[in-house]
Amino acid sequence: MPSAAGCDDNQRSRQKERDVFSGVIVPEKPDRNAIEVRGVSKRFGIGENAFKALDNVSVTIRENEFFTLLGPSGCGKTTLLRLIAGFDFPTEGQIMLHGQDIAPLPPFKRPVNTVFQSYALFPHMTVGQNIGFGLEMLGKPKAEVKARVDQMLRLVRMEALKDRRTSQISGGQQQRVALARALAPSPKVLLLDEPLSALDYKLRKEMQSELKRLQTETGITFIFVTHDQEEALTMSDRIAVMSAGKILQVGAPWEIYDRPADRFVADFIGETNFLPGTLGAIENGRTTVTLSSGAMLPATLAEGYVPNGPATIVVRPEHARAIREGGDLRGQVENIVYFGTDTHIHVRLDDRNLFTVRQQNSRSRDCGFVVGDAVGVAIAPDGAQVLKD
């Protein structure tokens, strides 16, 4: 796919004409919003039994973005996706697509397509017929449908299987057909509902980079739902972390990982150590924390957070080292877990809290500790952050 970046508006619109993905919106302004969710709530049931699946959610998803909704099951991420697709309607709020409120529209009137968790391929149609279904429903001429189907088959590298039944192809191939079928009508936004969860580990890895490639090549906005934090971190431009019907934080992967907004986000993304501490004076979002051992650490504050009283300090396992003598905290090695690339040393601190240290492995030596050793934990100068509980 040729990229439209750098063209002037005139060129761009002409290119759009020639573009095989002619239905795709090539952004007039690069930063235009694709989807804007405004104050959306969704309740199932009525009265006291009502279940609030989404609670006053607002989020903006930009054009050409790979956006991920991440959270544990039941957090409302799939509900939000279904509202954008039109399979459900919000109890309150608006869903804007390029500035137009689509919340009341039925799914077949929204230029938004979905890749389903179960793929939902039509079993009575061939691979080619599945991919062409959307275009056919849009009333495109036969020749155009055929050309587009062939093009989509090339895009997902499935040319040879065009006339197969969907029951005659493997899970990974079904996944590709589902993607091609959803991309064929050139939707403005592609929704993906945990599409990789049914695949085994290796195939999942392969499809992750495949998805990234498709997103770059087509330039379509992807909204991806997953509960797998690793998947979210590796694939996304931005991530929204959800819990109990609310969005807790929206940000780039590094922001979510390194600057978690609160304890839930820090806990859900990656491995984290939580330590109690007392805060000193706050200046420019920085402070000094006194730990239970008496050690003093510099720490940053989560953005917009004004603490009072005792606070929780979060330290990632890779931002600490295990050392024989000294250290900010002292304890005893309780367990050593080998992971191949690295080793986790679980330290039972003197204040009875557990602390995990991650150490890079090397071929020439082991981690240097055995269970029961007295050990010190040295925290990197920028490793500590103060969090909302």
Task: Name the site residues for another protein (rule: CB under 8 A).
Answer: 85-87, 106-108, 112-114, 116, 118, 120-124, 133-134, 137-138, 181-182, 185
Taking CA atoms, 14 is separated from 21, 147, 185, in Å, by 13, 21, 20
Sign of CA dihedral 72, 198, 203, 178: negative
Query: Shortest gap between Cβ of 13 and another protein (angstroms)?
Result: 25
Query: Shortest gap between Cβ of 116 and another protein (angstroms)?
Result: 5
Instruction: Give the single-character DSSP code of 19.
Output: -
Query: Shortest gap between Cβ of 180 and another protein (angstroms)?
Result: 12
Rounded distance between C-alpha atoms, residue 109 and residue 384, angstroms: 49
* Residue 211 host element (H or E): helix 201-218
Rounded to 10 deg, the angle between the 171-183 and 201-218 helix axes is: 20
Alpha helices in 243-354 (DSSP H): 253-258, 263-268
Rounded distance between C-alpha atoms, residue 389 and residue 313, angstroms: 10
Question: Is the Cβ of residue 138 or residue 252 nearer to another protein in the bound state?
Answer: 138
Query: Shortest gap between Cβ of 129 and another protein (angstroms)?
Result: 10
Largest CA distance in the chain: 76
Query: Shortest gap between Cβ of 302 and another protein (angstroms)?
Result: 38
Question: Is the Cβ of residue 82 or residue 227 nearer to another protein in the bound state?
Answer: 82
Question: Is the Cβ of residue 51 or residue 122 nearer to another protein in the bound state?
Answer: 122
Question: Is the Cβ of residue 87 or residue 274 nearer to another protein in the bound state?
Answer: 87
Question: Is the Cβ of residue 133 or residue 264 nearer to another protein in the bound state?
Answer: 133
Is the distance from CB of 114 to CB of 223 less than 8 angstroms? no
Query: Shortest gap between Cβ of 182 and another protein (angstroms)?
Result: 8
Q: Which is it for strands 112-115 and 100-101: parallel, antiparallel or unpaired?
A: unpaired
> Which of 235, 269, 379, 268 has its CA nearest to residue 321?
379
Rounded distance between C-alpha atoms, residue 270 and residue 233, angstroms: 10
Question: Is the Cβ of residue 130 or residue 356 nearer to another protein in the bound state?
Answer: 130
Query: Shortest gap between Cβ of 19 and another protein (angstroms)?
Result: 20
Query: Shortest gap between Cβ of 191 and another protein (angstroms)?
Result: 9
Question: Is the Cβ of residue 46 or residue 160 nearer to another protein in the bound state?
Answer: 46
- List the beta strands (DSSP E) in the chain: 33-44, 51-62, 66-70, 92-97, 100-101, 112-115, 189-193, 221-226, 238-243, 246-251, 273-279, 286-291, 296-301, 311-315, 320-323, 329-338, 342-349, 354-360, 374-379, 384-387
Residues 76-85, buried b or exposed e (16+ Cβ, 10 A)? Answer: bbbbbbbbbb
Question: Is the Cβ of residue 105 or residue 336 nearer to another protein in the bound state?
Answer: 105
Query: Shortest gap between Cβ of 162 and another protein (angstroms)?
Result: 18
Question: Is the Cβ of residue 106 or residue 326 nearer to another protein in the bound state?
Answer: 106
Query: Shortest gap between Cβ of 151 and another protein (angstroms)?
Result: 17
**DSSP code string of 118-155:** T----TTSBHHHHHHHHHHHTT--HHHHHHHHHHHHHH
Question: Is the Cβ of residue 188 or residue 319 nearer to another protein in the bound state?
Answer: 188
